[in-house]
Amino acid sequence: MATLKVPIVAEDHAQGPENAEVTLVEYGDYECPHCGRAYPIVQRVQKHFGKRLRLIFRNFPLGEMHPHAVAAAETAEFAGAHGKFWEMHDLLFENQESLGEPLFLELATTLKLSPTAMQKALEERTYEARVRADFSGGVRSGVNGTPTFFINGHRHDSSFDFETLVSAIDGAMRKEKSA
Amino acid sequence: MAKTNTASSAHAHEKVAPIHGGILPAGAKAPDFTLHVTPDQTLSLSDLRGRPVVLAFYPADWSPVCGDQMALYNEVLPEFQKFNAEVLGVSVDGPWCHAAFAENRHLHFPLLADFEPKGAVARKYGAYRTNDGVTERALFVIDKNGVIAWSYCSPIAVNPGADGILQALEDLPK
């Protein structure tokens, strides 16, 4: 069973308490339709578990298949460097069909970030290393497509529909209790 | 879950037990083969002697998943190239099917057609599913001397990812 090789660190993008019973890591690609489908499901899962769950998002752009995926990831990292990661993450998934620099700059404005600074960051590939590091760490951990989920460090190999995810997370919580 | 097998202590001539699906284990010599890589050209495993080879058998082109196994290896190619490894994908699809699939997915590594006789090379590797008429999802890392250093057979519905391959490449003697 594939396990997460890169531990959670302070620089990771997290929603939920650090000491949550279960940590759900998602490796995702903003241009991937499966990740787009997973986006509202993950939000439902978060609502369901509340403080018992921490969500971490890491980049796994399939750059060869999805022409805007890498730039979208760098856009989200730029927003993250200015305290607006999750807002940008959400907006990107909500606007999957129009990904591209015009959208990224528009979203920067929406989030009260400087479009000029964002454009510069994208041109200079300021966040390329961060995205690449996420990707390499994901490959080493056995990420085999997008989205790939890890529940308390173990790769989730079944469906990411709401019931299956909840059931798997419940299972991990039971294991935690009996540990 | 299928087990992996490494050659760290096995010698190539020792008898090594077959594993899940009967695929060739680490320590076995990798059977040579010659397959079409394009409709007009063939490629032989022995052409690649001197560098590590990642041989990835997979059931079929065109599965409706954006991060399918071949697309994933395409994204991971720079990591494999750090080890000077050549990646070869093999399925029973014909060379024209492969050509279209490779173009659609922008693949930067060869796909080999184990098409005629159907699955003959997969059979040599213990990686042919006689009931389905496709190959197993079987991975082999072959060292520069043509010996299998690592092999793994994934359940047919699970994309095995690249972590096992990368670990095996790292474990190869320098």
pLDDT tens digits for chain A (179 residues)? 689 999 999 999 999 999 999 999 999 999 999 999 999 999 999 999 999 999 999 999 999 989 999 999 999 999 999 999 999 999 999 999 999 999 999 999 999 999 999 999 999 999 999 999 999 999 999 998 899 999 999 999 889 999 999 999 999 999 888 87
Please tell me which residue in B66, B67, B78, B163 is annotated as part of the active site: B66
Domain boundaries, chain A: 15-178
Tokens 């690609």 locate to A29
Contact B67 A5 (CB under 8 A): no
Q: Kindly list the residues from chain A whose CB atom is less than 8 angstroms away from the CB atom of residue B162.
A: 139, 142, 144
**How much helix, strand and coil, in percent to the nearest 5, is found in chain B?**
25, 25, 50
Angle of the A85-94 helix axis to the A101-110 helix axis, nearest 10: 130
State how far residue A11 is from chain B, nearest Cα, in angstroms: 23
Helix (H, G, I), strand (E, B) or coil at B174: coil
Which residues in chain A are closer than 8 Å to B164, comparing Cβ atoms? 142
Please answer whether residues A106 and A118 qualify as being in contact, where contact means their C-beta atoms are separated by less than 8 angstroms: no
CB-nearest partner of A65 from B1, B105, B162: B105
Q: How far apart (Å, rounded) are the C-alpha atoms in residues A5 and A11? A: 16
Would you call B66 a catalytic residue per the annotation? yes
Residue B165's nearest CA partner among B142, B147, B141 is B141
Range of the domain at B59: 5-10+17-171
* Overall number of domains in chain B: 1
d(CA B92, CA B128): 10
Q: Residue B25: its pLDDT value, please?
A: 96
Task: Tell me how far apart the alpha carbons of residues B65 and B81 are, in angstroms, rounded to a whole number.
Answer: 25
Q: How far apart are CA A136 and CA B79, in angstroms?
A: 8
CB nearest B71 (choices: A1, A65, A136): A65
Q: How far apart are alpha carbons A134 and A155 in whole angstroms? A: 16
User: Is the ipTM beyond the 0.90 threshold?
Assistant: no
Mutate to test the interface with A, among B82, B108, B158, B163 (most CBs of A within 10 A): B163
CATH at residue B149: 3.40.30.10
Topology classification of domain A15-178: Glutaredoxin (3.40.30)
A145 contacts B66? CB cut-off 8 A = yes
